Chains A and B, each alone.
Chain A
Amino acid sequence: MSETQPTAKSLGDAVPARELSMTVNGRICRVRCEDRHLLVEVLREQLRLKGTHVGCLNGDCGACTVELNGQLVKSCLVLAPAAEGAEITTLEGLALDGELDPLQMAFWDNDGFQCGFCVPGQIFAARRLLASNTDPTDVEIRAALAGNICRCTGYQTIVESVRAAAAATRDELYGAESNPPTFRAESRRGEHGQSRSPST
């Protein structure tokens, strides 16, 4: 803990701490954390996985979303010790080989990213939706994304990105011929000259 951070006030200097073991993005990680640490703090500060963001720390914004034991969670609402033994996927875990996955690519191609702060929640919520519904309506997309706040107010392009990702998923599953092309990615990529492996 740095000197600028607040110190414990209830139990003097005896801050309870423990060893924590969890599997993050397929790798077993062992860290030492205080009992009061939040999962988002351990992911960012100890494991240096900065793709998980700290937003409201109140469970409202969704910027800290990760997948924990197959469930979507806001990691600011999880005490780190409660993640002992858990399997966790963070945003970094979706592109382990350096290539964006189809959903991330759809966000890239459709300007679903603006400042990028809300991306973890939007991407994970969209993934969960598309896992069970590859042809969602806009109402269903918006309902699935409802736990995430975009302060750029870029909701329209986020919905378009999910719609495009759904179309791409259907193409992959059922073939493009059976599915009218609604994915705008190719033309948009051409306009902006964006590559498939963005460096930012």
Chain B
Amino acid sequence: MIRTALRYHFPDDLDEATALLHTHEERAAVLGGGTMLVPSLTRGDRDLDHVIDLRRLGLGGVSSTAGGVRIGASASYAQLLAAPPFTGATRLLQLAAEGITGGPQIRCQGTICGSAAYANPSSDVPAVLVALEAVIHLRGPENSRTVPAEAFFLDAFTVDVRRGELLTGVTVPTRSARVGYYKLKLVEGSWPIATASAVLPDAGDSLVGATVTLGAVSARPLRLDLAPLLDGHGRLPTAGDIDDWVSAQLGEPWDDELAPGDYRRMVAGVVLRRALQRAQGI
């Protein structure tokens, strides 16, 4: 059981929610799907006095418009998968959601925005949002603001959320592209060791303009423009050259109980190439 005398709040408007967060600051946390927060309280890893549940704030739902896909803070992976198939680059969201670790239960409970706010390097969502140039919507006690995903993820488990702010949703712009997602994990129930989100020009053999965003291999998602690798026709070099180049981009790789940094450096290029192949339909 949870050993702290937790107080559960379920505000029904954002002003109340942000006021609670602002007042209780480090003694409070936002409860979305609960898949990370609740077990951390059970284990005693986190010692809080207040949890603020989003469920009455009307932040659920996934909506798709001509401009993009809007995902509410309470929207689960299952809701994302139940939406009509996305097209273009946004299809990457559903490709990644299909493989979320934990089976249908976690896909029903876990939320895209919760994963973004948690910012565990060894997870799927942060790198996918960076790959798609998503925009994070935040609401504080006094105002709202938006932050590009690239700037939102500051470090491992650290995001650009200020005192009293909560994440209300993300918007993923629609654009025409071929996408491929590949993730390496060593057992079914494990978190990913490396992920790659490939976003390619819509047609043709040339990869000019292609990007691959690597996740789980560094503290923050690493978005790579493949331009330095391409020849004059927009084609890639050999697999070995790709792997060496990717390894050189990594800086200090992420190191945790799943895999040491050196391992991640070795596999990053392979994972990137497999995501590219999937995007190309190879």
Residue positions of A touching B, CB distance < 8 A: 5-12, 14-16, 18, 35-38, 41, 57-60, 62, 65, 71-74, 76-79, 81-82, 84, 121, 124-125, 128-129, 144-149
Contact = CB atoms under 8 A, between A and B. Distances in A.
Contacts of A6: 1, 3
Interface residues of B, number: 35
Contacts of A81: 8, 10
> What are the nearest 10 A-B pairs in CB distance?
A147-B103, A8-B5, A11-B5, A35-B8, A36-B2, A36-B6, A71-B108, A16-B7, A146-B103, A81-B8
B9 to A, nearest CB: 9
A16 B10 CA distance: 14
B49 A77 contact: no
B43 to A, nearest CB: 7
15 contacts: A11-B4, A15-B5, A35-B6, A36-B3, A38-B2, A73-B105, A73-B108, A76-B42, A77-B33, A77-B34, A79-B8, A81-B8, A124-B105, A146-B102, A147-B105
Interface string B47-74: 1110101010000000000000000000
B31 interface: yes
Contact of B4 (A10, A125, A148): A10
B49 A11 contact: yes
A36 B55 contact: no
Contacts, number: 126
B102 A147 contact: yes
Nearest to B34: A77
Nearest to B76: A71
Contacts of A144: 103-104
A145 B103 contact: yes
Contact of A148 (B31, B47, B103): B103
Contacts of A16: 5-8
A72 B31 contact: no
